[in-house]
Amino acid sequence: MILRAGELLGVPQGVPDPALHAGLLRYLLLALALLWVLAAGRSRPGLSLLAGVTFVLAAEGFWVLALGRPYGLFLDAALTRRAADMSVAAAGAPPGQGFLVDVPPAAEAWIPAATWLRPAAWLLLWPTLLPLLVLPVLGVLVHSLWPRREDAPVAATLCLLFSTGDLDAARGVGFVPGLWAHPGSALLLLLIMAATLVLGRLAVREVVATGLGAAAMASWLVVHGASEGLGLADATLLLTLDQVPWCLLAAWGWPRLAPAGRALILGGAALVLLSALPLGIDGWGSESFYRFGLLLASAQPLSSLLRQAAAVLGRRRALAGFAPASLSPALLVLAGAPTCFLTWWTPTRTDRLMDESREPIAERLRTAMAWVRRETPSSSVFLASPDYAPEIAVLGGRRVLRAPTLLVADDDDRRDRAEDKVLRGRALGKLGGLYGLTHVFIAPGDFLSFGIAGPEELEKRGRFRLRYRDSSELRVYELE
């Protein structure tokens, strides 16, 4: 099971180190920005787009490579529950069973997808890797589908460079920082954006195309966010002052704005206002739609200003080889790349989960869980302490009786009684066939409240057959 993006590239643990290499990242981004400027200025739209995508991938990929485990794994209960259900489903658990035996999995698209995600060794890493592609794909979509073709390079550049603002990120709804906390809904956002761009190009009246695009955004209402909402004050600021200068440029370009841009602004603004209420509507995506709408609305007026600046600069002999029309995106990159959010983004300072996810999972635990996955049937059900039950489900791919740190079942009292009987060596009686317990995983310090001073004492309490033991006294017993 691959748990670190660096393993895919053969990068050793601890490389890159944000404390040592963040400065080098900024120099790299500036070098890529200069290549982006040259490609744009030489009227190479395809090469310019590739340079922009490379810039984004480098800015985001550095921090993904710095992670020692999938984002939030064993640190955030919701993310770990999703990983546990995915792992158990992929390992062949009976249909309708989640990581807790006899409890159905969460209704999340990642879980049924786990059975066909390939390669299987990347299973737990996909939710960390896929967010890397969202912004680059969005830039390609805008570049390809924006109806005002003369403004498409500037529109795509705006989306790539300015998808996130400092104030958006400070309020917890920044687009790029939120990608890793919303890997599934980020893909839905991408689909909605693509649908809005396509609907905006239909050969119908502009008001109809705008309405269709805004209606497509209504599917975001199914994505759940904080139940308390953003708050009216935050929502108001997100719609106004937080978006300067984009809201001013968008107001200037509104009369000539394509339907897709209008749909994103109107639909996004409505979603932001709804997410301010305690309705459980996700504010991250709502604000992202609105911001992308403003950026697209800013493309035409900004292109006009940049073309005027390019016409003046084009008279200089040093820039004689650059076409005035192609200087517009080049000037935008030259001014925006060194100062944009992506260049100076340091998620390990602002995102607790990103910082704590740099800690790798202990190798002894990975080895033990690999044995569980390899040597026990997929139908097995494990009893483990709260400290190790999540690891059994996620890394071992086996269902567990209890995992109170992740989820408490409705019949937890009965499960607690079954656990008590097993650990005290008593007959399970009717509980024996209820949950189908087959194995016990135990480590030093587990189950002290049952009087078990060490893992070896479990053998004295009943018919337990030792199946696995390592030098750190991690043990797996099979119930006989």
Lowest-confidence range among 135-149, 165-179, 199-213, 384-398? 199-213
Contact 38, 100 (CB under 8 A): no
Residue 332 has which token pair? 């935008």
The pLDDT value recorded for residue 368 is 96
| Angstrom distances, CA of residue 406 to CA of 71, 74, 75, 81, 212 | 16, 9, 10, 6, 41
User: Which SS3 state, helix, strand or coil, does residue 115 take?
Assistant: coil
Contact 152, 295 (CB under 8 A): no
Q: How far apart are CA 436 and CA 420, in angstroms?
A: 15
- Tokens 């919701």 belong to 78
pLDDT band at 466 (very low <50, low <70, confident <90, very high): very high
* C-alpha closest to that of 296 among 365, 356, 227, 247: 247
* Pairing mode of beta strands 399-400, 381-383: parallel
Model pLDDT for residues 27-47, shown as the tens digit of each residue: 999 999 999 998 887 778 889
The pLDDT value recorded for residue 203 is 83
- Tokens 């409240």 belong to 449
Q: How far apart are CA 126 and CA 120, in angstroms?
A: 10
Neighbouring residues of 355: CB distance < 8 A, sequence distance ≥ 6: 347, 348, 349
Q: How far apart are CA 307 and CA 192, in angstroms?
A: 31
Neighbouring residues of 422: CB distance < 8 A, sequence distance ≥ 6: 383, 428, 437, 440, 462, 479
Contact 285, 270 (CB under 8 A): no
- For the whole model, what pTM was predicted? 0.91
Find the Cα–Cα–Cα–Cα dihedral 158, 163, 168, 172, rounded to 10°.
180
Helix crossing, 259-275 with 206-216: angle to 10°? 40
pLDDT band at 407 (very low <50, low <70, confident <90, very high): very high
Share of the chain above pLDDT 70, in %: 97
- Tokens 């007026």 belong to 301
Contact 373, 91 (CB under 8 A): yes
Predicted confidence (pLDDT) at residue 422 exceeds the cutoff of 80: yes
Q: How far apart are CA 71 and CA 1, in angstroms?
A: 15
Contact 249, 261 (CB under 8 A): no
- Running DSSP on this structure, what letter comes out for residue 11? P
Q: How far apart are CA 397 and CA 426, in angstroms?
A: 28
What angle is formed at CA 313 by the lines to CA 307 and CA 314, rounded to 5 degrees? Answer: 80
Model pLDDT for residues 223-255, shown as the tens digit of each residue: 887 777 888 999 999 999 999 999 999 999 999
What angle is formed at CA 94 by the lines to CA 91 and CA 95, rounded to 5 degrees? Answer: 105
Q: How far apart are CA 231 and CA 110, in angstroms?
A: 30
Neighbouring residues of 72: CB distance < 8 A, sequence distance ≥ 6: 79, 80, 180, 181, 353, 357
> What is the radius of gyration, based on Cα positions, of the chain?
26
* C-alpha closest to that of 98 among 464, 405, 401: 401
User: Which SS3 state, helix, strand or coil, does residue 439 take?
Assistant: strand
Model pLDDT for residues 288-333, shown as the tens digit of each residue: 999 999 999 999 999 888 888 877 766 665 455 566 666 788 889 9
Residue 271 has which token pair? 């979603």
| Angstrom distances, CA of residue 224 to CA of 128, 221, 409 | 20, 8, 22
Helices in 241-388 by DSSP H: which ranges?
246-253, 259-275, 283-313, 324-336, 341-344, 347-350, 352-356, 363-375
pLDDT, averaged across the chain: 90
Q: How far apart are CA 197 and CA 144, in angstroms?
A: 10
The pLDDT value recorded for residue 32 is 96
Q: Which amino acid, 357?
A: S
Model pLDDT for residues 138-170, shown as the tens digit of each residue: 999 999 999 888 889 999 999 999 999 999 999
Neighbouring residues of 420: CB distance < 8 A, sequence distance ≥ 6: 426, 450
The pLDDT value recorded for residue 121 is 86
The pLDDT value recorded for residue 4 is 92
